[in-house]
Structure 1
């Protein structure tokens, strides 16, 4: 019955489609005319390369290049059992062996600079680039950036190579045609076409996620290859696919050209990245924070902390400010701010639009270097030691509206909760597990620094601020707390 039903449904659908196309007289024109990509592919293929890597692994290790099969496949279990048996019988030891893997790349400079994904050449002992005419060249790794998954290779050709041009990925529209060229499953130069399915995808690959989604067929081995627009410009680097089987199901992701291009330029020039740094720690603005921050809607990036001596502090940016635009370009999320700053050159002065206690203002900030700031912070953190711990102090104040208890900071409590001497505020000593604060993951040992964007130095300051909020019929108290040296804003509902 079901099979018959599907046959009938399929036949009716086919008839309906035929009649619709016949009456519309041009529905098929949505696709490019036959051969539309032929000249473009012929022009671009010489600039796309295959990448072969060799890695030496110790005996007993499961090779990264082990064949991948659909989950539940008998072949998957066979290979897994085979390698595990080898490992057991060899006692986890054995002679080193070499494994190979394949990927894709493209030439961005006729002198021999090649772009690929970092994961394509990660841990490789040897990298070879195979040109479109099958010429094989040894490649040197110039630089890599795991954050955006990009690496730069350099080969020494006997003559100038064919290079491609970058396009403007910000101008991409959903529905535009794209061309992917790469080395799927080691087959060599392969061309596939599809459309831009979506933009700005966050797939939790990193803090700079801003992927282009395409339904052009992308498979294992396509990683590092280019995604072109119809003008023949690179508008993305094919990096990942969504698949349960390891094969293409029409959901591929590419790093946008406007994010990749400055990274590529920095790696070629410096051998490492030099990203812009504003010097703030940020968090998302939630619907519960809107009223407390004086906003009309939940957008922007909330400044939880301003790094002392950083560009933001020098520009006059303060904790509690909500950054809503950089150089006139809207900042709707924390990721948008992170990308906008990282894509800006070190030493560049940017315009920062922000909202402070409901009022809009604009400041100028000259960006520092993110990598230098991270190295400095890491060295400073390593130099710090841990304090010994003792019993907490008394003099607690009950805050029934929030479901917690607080106490003034003293020497004993600082030691109890490992709170540094320069931290000011009141410490939370107990949290009602069924109260509003517990629902927002507020914990004992957290230090309340601000209530409703006003500093608090003692429990009386907190109780007065809470009373003022209730008198104003506010439903949420916006707390700024510090935990393990890191500040963040927490909206806590007030009990009726």
Structure 2
């Protein structure tokens, strides 16, 4: 640039050599300013076509449907000595949260991650133009880390959904979202580009969300805080995944991002819209799990059945402990992670062709998929914020519980979970000195102790027994 400027001034001086020193032209008016560089064409359609690429066209197609999801969550805080002096027994604070999402139906249906809205007391959605709508959570599926929101609006832009099947390693993909929200100064979504680094990825280590991350799309397109729930799109401008997790030792993107395949997300969203919940497929087997540090050879040896639940579809189909599942439908089952991924793809009510290795032979076994055994179980409400299910042999075997009797926590409010320290999946086995056999007895005992003093409740979690102390007033 310095050389170009000097040459420009030199040529101007040569052109003026020998001219009159007057600063006026022949008519006495100052000469018009000389234009050294052409002015840019102000017309928006005058952009050089070489700058328009498949990526810019894809972004233009999807970006209008990308939204910012703003949440607020009330969390309990420790009481300071200053507060305690004035008689404050408990405290709380409102914690803001942020994520992304994309509109899949023009009447305001939005897909995002479950961990973006989990536990939120309020959810709002900000559009690309800055318009903000209150949002209702239609349903969440924590296992798949997906959620569906609804805002009251119409004629909204929608993101075209593609398919995650047949993706090519190395093909261009684009992650769109709102990292760090409005810290960047406006409501326009951010765009990062990369390639498909891998498909069918199973995360055996720490990720960025609470779900089961199997059969994922891996990309080196940067996914940062706030990108969760946004779309991953291909070069045709179609959504192929939902950005959900990163693997990072630093807290920031290091080029290991993961997206939930859109085919799975579509099925989950349809279930949530139709039923408010996802019907979880179940055949009644537990397979041996390989740890993250297991030998590489175990990642290609199939999924070995460790337990067959009594009365389950697996038992009806004559599956046995020690059988090795090597194929399900058209999916090769190389390891337990592939089997977990296949379970997420199955539908309740359908029949599945399995190929299992039994001894030295392989044989075909047909299994009919059913709901989880606790889905149709009677639920007992306790104090309006706790739902219990009586333990049955099928539930006990499916959840690998040690206790033979008790009440399974099917649902618990965030407040009770924080106050009592219990969570969904815990098995209540005793209250004070009274062992409880089922959900009905647990409800009766808890109601008896209302206003009668301290309660110590024993429960099983992860094969261990814990207790919690509380009062009911």
> TM-score over 0.5 for the alignment?
yes
Gap change, CA 1:246 and 1:297, over 3 Å in 2: closer
How far apart, in 2, do the equivalents of 1:137 and 1:246 lie? Answer: 30
The correspondence for 1:247, drawn from 247, 252, 260, is: 252
Would you say 1:384 and 2:384 are equivalent positions?
no
Match of 1:361 in 2: 363
2:70 is aligned to 52
| In structure 1, C-alpha distance between the alignment counterparts of 2:117 and 2:99, rounded to whole Å | 8
Q: Distance in 2 between matches of 1:297 and 1:174?
A: 21
Question: 1:262 aligns to what?
Answer: 267
Q: Does 1:215 align with 2:220?
A: yes
Worse-superposed segment, 210-219 or 120-129? 210-219
Which residue of the other structure, out of 262, 268, 274, is the alignment partner of 2:279? 274
| Superposed displacement of residue 99, structure 1 | 2.7
Whole-angstrom distance in 2 between the partners of 1:59 and 1:316: 53
Q: Which of these residues, 155, 172, 175, is aligned with residue 177 of structure 1?
A: 172
TM-score normalized with structure 1 length: 0.60
Q: Please state if 1:237 is matched with 2:255.
A: no
Q: How does 1:8-27 map to 2 (within 5 A)?
A: none
Question: Which structure shows the bigger proportion of residues in helix conformation?
Answer: 1
| Partners of 1:120 and 1:95 in 2: CA distance | 24
Pair 1:115–1:378, CA change in 2 (3 A): farther
Distance 1:243 1:125 in 2: 29
What's the offset of the Cα at 1:275? 2.3
Q: TM-score, normalised by structure 2?
A: 0.62
Whole-angstrom distance in 1 between the partners of 2:329 and 2:167: 21
Deviation at 1:334, TM superposition (A): 1.3
Conserved? CA contact 1:142–1:153, under 8 Å: yes
- Choose from 142, 163, 170 the match for 1:168: 163
Query: Would the aligned equivalents of 1:130 and 1:137 in 2 still touch at CA under 8 Å?
Result: yes
- Structure 2, unpaired ranges of 5+: 1-48, 292-297, 379-388, 407-462, 464-473
Q: Post-superposition shift, 1:138?
A: 0.8
- Contact between 1:285 and 1:301, CA under 8 Å: does it hold in 2? no
Q: Which residue of 1 aligns with 2:320?
A: 318
Unaligned runs of 5+ in 1: 1-31, 62-86, 287-295, 387-483, 485-496
Q: Please report how far the alpha carbon of residue 328 of structure 1 lies from its aligned counterpart in structure 2 after TM superposition.
A: 3.3
Deviations 1:417-471 (A, max 9, x none): xxxxxxxxxxxxxxxxxxxxxxxxxxxxxxxxxxxxxxxxxxxxxxxxxxxxxxx
Supply the distance in 2 between the matched residues of 1:322 and 1:95 (Cα, whole angstroms): 53
Once the two structures are superposed, the pairs formed by residues 311-460 of structure 1 within 5 Å of their partners are: 311-370=313-372, 372=374, 379-380=391-392, 381=396, 384-385=404-405
CA contact (8 A) 1:275 1:343 kept: no
- Separation in structure 1 between the aligned mates of residue 376 and residue 233 of structure 2, nearest angstrom: 35
Q: CA distance change for structure 1 residues 41 and 154 in 2, over 3 Å: closer, same or farther?
A: same
1:115 aligns with 2:111: yes
Cα deviations across residues 178-219 of structure 1 (Å, max 9, x unaligned)?
Answer: 111111111431111111122214144554522222111221
State the match for 1:301 in structure 2: 303
The one-character-per-residue Cα deviations of 1:284-311 (angstroms, maximum 9, x if unpaired) are: 589xxxxxxxxx9952111112111111
Mapped partners of 2:404, 2:367: distance in 1: 30
Q: 1:375 to 1:302 in 2, by over 3 A?
A: farther
